């Protein structure tokens, strides 16, 4: 009971931390007005050479502060700062910039034009509110696929995996949980009092979920879900008993409801926490028998589960 309270407190702390993380990251880096600067002759008149001896291009960022860190896929050969301007020299053919600023997620920026030797470019670089950034960014894709890895606690405790697809906020997810927690050793006797079987059990769950995503902001979403699960309850030999298959395996079906809270850390990575409550729709006879003998086995088919983990979006 004490361990369950600890788990619930840890889950509550994680929930608060996820929301706080989302609230603390309501700003992001934005590059706008990236274009060639025909009036900038600095890259031609005072060339900076790359490692191959070729003259670099210069990119001038107009900024409110000069604490941005700029790198590129081909390196930065020189950096200069002055009031309101950061200048970086990059090799010809540079295609991607990475911009960092304290307290904000990094921005990976694909340059929208060819970078040519001895040529000047300019852009506006700033940290903006997400709402303001949304006015110039491309709209979200109507679909996204993801894989997830996490840990299930409470009724079935163990690692979990999932794959999912979300289309226009409609979510379909297929997942599995391998229960590491085992039941007590259960022994079975015939009417004459002779020992006929003995097992300890764990659960393996395969689950299909359907949900509808409700976006709270650009980083946080809630997804109410309905679920159906197949529970395979697998027995291993108890101490002093071997070879018996009687009452070894059991099966059940569960239906349930859940609410998944997701927080996007980047465009590709996010955290989630999903509380769920299940009821048993079907139990075979073995499941009923061992569930009456050990309440933990009963809870594998009906009761509260909590899943936390990481998602990778594509």
Eight-state DSSP code of residue 2? H
Is the pLDDT reported for residue 138 higher than 50?
no
pLDDT band at 2; cut points 50, 70, 90: very low
How many Cβ atoms are within 10 Å of 86's Cβ, its own excluded? 21
Query: What is the arithmetic mean of pLDDT over 217-231?
Result: 90
What is the reported pLDDT for 183?
92
Computed over every residue of the chain, the mean pLDDT equals 87
Residue 261 bridge partners (DSSP): 222, 273
Is the pLDDT reported for residue 240 higher than 70?
yes
Query: What is the arithmetic mean of pLDDT over 221-244?
Result: 89
CB 201 within 8 A of CB 216: no
Provide the CA 108 distance to its chain's centre, in angstroms: 19
What is the reported pLDDT for 132?
52
Q: What is the CA radius of gyration of the chain?
A: 28
- No. of H helices and E strands in the chain? 5, 18
Three-state SS across 83-110?
Answer: CCEEEEEECCCCCEEEEEECCEEEEEEE
What is the reported pLDDT for 255?
97
What is the reported pLDDT for 26?
62
- d(C-alpha 232, C-alpha 216), whole Å: 36
**Residue 137's closest CA among 290, 2, 267?**
267
- d(C-alpha 119, C-alpha 93), whole Å: 12
Enter the tokens of residue 90.
């990059």
What is the reported pLDDT for 242?
73
CB 15 within 8 A of CB 261: yes
**What's the pLDDT tens digit per position in 280-314?**
999 999 999 999 989 989 999 998 999 999 999 88
pLDDT band at 194; cut points 50, 70, 90: confident
- d(C-alpha 224, C-alpha 257), whole Å: 8
**What's the pLDDT tens digit per position in 52-100?**
999 999 999 999 999 999 999 999 999 999 999 999 999 999 999 999 9
- d(C-alpha 47, C-alpha 89), whole Å: 9
SS3 label, residue 46? coil
What is the reported pLDDT for 196?
84
What is the reported pLDDT for 228?
97
**Which long-range contacts link 215-218 to residues 24+ away (Cβ below 8 Å)?**
215/169, 217/22, 217/26, 217/130, 218/130, 218/134, 218/264
**What's the pLDDT tens digit per position in 245-284?**
888 999 999 999 999 999 888 778 899 999 999 999 999 9
- d(C-alpha 191, C-alpha 177), whole Å: 37
pLDDT band at 137; cut points 50, 70, 90: very low
Q: pLDDT above 90 covers what percent of the chain? A: 64
- d(C-alpha 176, C-alpha 226), whole Å: 15
What is the reported pLDDT for 136?
45
- d(C-alpha 310, C-alpha 245), whole Å: 38
Is the pLDDT reported for residue 30 higher than 90?
yes
**What's the pLDDT tens digit per position in 165-180?**
999 889 999 999 999 9
What is the reported pLDDT for 273?
95
Query: Which domains does the chain possess?
Result: 28-131 (2.60.40), 140-313 (2.40.160.20)
């Amino acid at each position: 009971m004490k361990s369950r309270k600890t788990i619930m407190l840890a889950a509550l702390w994680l929930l608060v931390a996820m929301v706080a993380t989302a609230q603390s990251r309501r700003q992001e880096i934005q590059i706008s007005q990236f274009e060639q600067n025909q009036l900038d002759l600095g890259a031609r008149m005072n060339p900076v050479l790359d490692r191959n001896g070729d003259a670099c291009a210069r990119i001038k960022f107009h900024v409110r502060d000069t604490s941005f860190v700029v790198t590129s896929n081909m390196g930065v050969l020189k950096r200069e700062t002055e009031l309101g301007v950061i200048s970086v020299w990059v090799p010809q053919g540079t295609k991607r910039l990475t911009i960092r600023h304290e307290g904000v997620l990094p921005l990976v920026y694909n340059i929208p034009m060819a970078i040519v030797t001895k040529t000047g470019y300019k852009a506006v670089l700033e940290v903006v509110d997400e709402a303001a950034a949304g006015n110039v960014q491309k709209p979200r894709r109507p679909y996204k696929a993801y894989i997830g890895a996490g840990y299930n606690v409470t009724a079935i405790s163990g690692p979990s995996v999932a794959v999912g697809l979300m289309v226009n906020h409609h979510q379909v997810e297929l997942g599995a949980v391998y229960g590491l927690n085992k039941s007590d050793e259960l022994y079975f006797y015939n009417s004459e009092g002779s020992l006929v079987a003995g097992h300890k059990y764990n659960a393996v769950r395969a689950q299909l979920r359907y949900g509808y995503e409700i976006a709270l902001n650009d980083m946080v979403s809630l997804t109410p879900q309905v679920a159906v699960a197949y529970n395979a309850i697998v027995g291993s030999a108890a101490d002093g008993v071997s070879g018996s298959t009687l009452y070894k395996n059991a099966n059940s079906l569960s239906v349930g409801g859940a609410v998944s809270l997701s927080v996007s850390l980047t465009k590709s990575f996010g955290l989630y926490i999903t509380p769920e409550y299940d009821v048993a729709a079907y139990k075979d006879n073995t499941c009923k028998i061992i569930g009456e003998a050990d309440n933990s086995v009963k809870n594998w088919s009906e009761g509260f589960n909590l899943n936390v983990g990481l998602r990778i979006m594509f």
